[in-house]
Amino acid sequence: MSWVVGSVAFWLASWWVNTRLSAMKGSRIAGFIVPALFGISLLVLWEGMVKGFNINPVLLPAPTDIAAKFASSLPILWTDFVQTFVKGALSGYVIGCGAAFLTAIVVDRSPFLQKGLLPVGNFVAALPIIGMAPIMVMWFGFDWQSKAAIVVVMVFFPMLVNTVQGLQASDVMQRDLMQTYAATYGQSLRKLRLPAAMPFVFNGLKICTTLALIGAIVAEFFGSPIKGMGFRISTEVGRLALDMVWAEIAVAAIAGSAFYGIVAMIEKIVTFWHPSQRRG
């Protein structure tokens, strides 16, 4: 019982501290401490509830158990990570986003095609494309190639729509100015419209990071060699070894956030001029 009371007390105390901290205006550190403290207090609450109510680890393992499992099975987690993330998700992400970007530039010359592609692309982006995973597994086999293929299909349309929109983002004045400089199509594309499109391009790239990881993991539910994050999750769930599943989810979470973070960091460097990146 002391577990339950203690963890709830800790949670309440940290909430009180957070209220105090957030009332202090203008401090940079509070913006970092408050969410961190909230996350920690949730973990403590989880630990306390599991320990206090003696919840069966088959249903919900405690965070400490998951951490122990994580530490003890690092080699397995690493091979799964390489198989799913590096081979499946990353290669698919690069191919898919690259292809979409090039397609957008090719279509850029024809307003007619753009008008047709935008609605269709928006529609396809809303479809449950993940359902194509079994087809890709059938076409490209069990190994990472099929995972990369489904990732390519999943990221293509969101990326295409964003890039096409981005290429239209420069305004008429700016384009007119380029024309008065007698800039060729290539020059105005390189020097004005591509840089102006970057915020949109990175928006697409950021959306696609999550899609890529989801695609690679779910595609493994339909068939995979005996490694990979999706494979491990589905088999360990079958064996009711939930601590391993949670460890795998932790890997997915870390990989997903890091992936997103890296893309966001590149965005900051590339689009330093955009209002959303300037420091007020």
The span of 19-27, 145-153, 167-175, 197-205 binding another protein (CB under 8 A) equals 19-27
- Interface residue with another protein, options 1, 29, 54, 128 (CB under 8 A): 128
Number of chain positions touching another protein (CB under 8 A): 64
State yes or no: residue 181 binds another protein (CB under 8 A). Answer: no
C-alpha span between 87 and 3 (Å, rounded): 43
* Nearer to another protein (CB atom), residue 60 or residue 192: 60
Output the six-digit token pair for 62: 């405690």
State yes or no: residue 19 binds another protein (CB under 8 A). Answer: yes
- Interface residue with another protein, options 4, 37, 68, 105 (CB under 8 A): 37
Q: Could you tell me the smallest distance in angstroms from the CB atom of residue 152 to another protein?
A: 15
State yes or no: residue 152 binds another protein (CB under 8 A). Answer: no
* Nearer to another protein (CB atom), residue 195 or residue 223: 223
SS (H, E, C) the chain: CHHHHHHHHHHHHHHHHHHHHHHCCCCHHHHHHHHHHHHHHHHHHHHHHHHHCCCCCCCCCCHHHHHHHHHHCHHHHHHHHHHHHHHHHHHHHHHHHHHHHHHHHHHCCCHHHHHHHHHHHHHHHCCCHHHHHHHHHHHHCCCHHHHHHHHHHHHHHHHHHHHHHHHCCCCHHHHHHHHHCCCCHHHHHHHHHHHHHHHHHHHHHHHHHHHHHHHHHHHHCCCCCCCCHHHHHHHHHHCCCHHHHHHHHHHHHHHHHHHHHHHHHHHHHHCCCCHHHCCC
State yes or no: residue 265 binds another protein (CB under 8 A). Answer: no
Q: Is 80 exposed, middle or buried (0-12, 13-18, 19+ CB in 10 A)?
A: buried
Q: Could you tell me the smallest distance in angstroms from the CB atom of residue 165 to another protein?
A: 15
Q: What angle do CA 173, 174, 177 make, to 5 degrees?
A: 90
State yes or no: residue 240 binds another protein (CB under 8 A). Answer: yes
- Interface residue with another protein, options 1, 2, 23, 171 (CB under 8 A): 23
C-alpha span between 79 and 67 (Å, rounded): 18
Range 91-110, binding another protein (CB under 8 A): none
State yes or no: residue 234 binds another protein (CB under 8 A). Answer: yes
The span of 5-13, 115-123, 167-175, 181-189 binding another protein (CB under 8 A) equals 115-123
- Interface residue with another protein, options 1, 59, 182, 269 (CB under 8 A): 59
Q: Could you tell me the smallest distance in angstroms from the CB atom of residue 8 to another protein?
A: 17
State yes or no: residue 200 binds another protein (CB under 8 A). Answer: no
State yes or no: residue 225 binds another protein (CB under 8 A). Answer: no
Positions that interact with another protein (CB under 8 A) = 15, 18-19, 21-23, 30-31, 34-35, 37-39, 58-60, 112-117, 119-120, 123, 126-128, 130-135, 137-139, 209-210, 213-214, 217-218, 221-223, 229-230, 233-234, 237-238, 240, 242, 245, 248-249, 252-253, 256-257, 259-261
